[in-house]
Amino acid sequence: MVLSLDTANVKAHLSEIVGRVAYGRERLLVLRRGKPIAAIVSVEDLHTLEAMEAAGERSETGVVHPIMRAFGGWAHRTDVDELLAEIYIDRKAAAGREVTW
């Protein structure tokens, strides 16, 4: 499960968050002004990410994010904001198209 909290709530509830991440197998996205800026993950998740990095699972510009790997052709993309913008542009362009079943 992935939680999202702003920095003020993270500061106010850090002890509880650490417990939930360490023992509840949760992950936390830290937000500033509504945008993700960091993540808090368990030590086990950190070791997994480090192992992936050591195994060479990288693009030319950095670590390949596991979610991006799931979509094959997007695995080389590290510019998530630009990718999302492209997706929304494509969705808007396709709005109103007829779908048949």
Same domain, 5 and 42: yes
Residue 10: the pLDDT is 92
The residue to which tokens 């990288």 are assigned: 58
Domain presence at residue 47? yes
CB 63 within 8 A of CB 53: yes
Residues 6-36 pLDDT 10s: 899 999 999 999 998 888 888 998 998 888 8
As for how many domains the chain has, the answer is 2
Q: Residues near 9 by Cβ (< 8 Å), separated by ≥ 6? A: none
101 has pLDDT over 80: no
pLDDT tens sequence across 34-91: 888 888 998 988 888 888 777 665 545 555 555 555 555 555 556 667 767 777 777 7
Contact 31, 7 (CB under 8 A): yes
The single-letter code of the amino acid at 44 is: E
φ and ψ of 62, to 5 deg: 160, -165
pLDDT value of position 8: 92
Say whether both 40 and 69 belong to one domain.
no
Task: Tell me the residue range of the domain where 73 lies.
Answer: 58-96
pLDDT at residue 12, as a whole number: 93
Residue 14 sits in a domain whose CATH number is: 3.40.1620.10
The encoded tokens of residue 4 equal 């999202």
In this structure, the chain runs to a length of 101
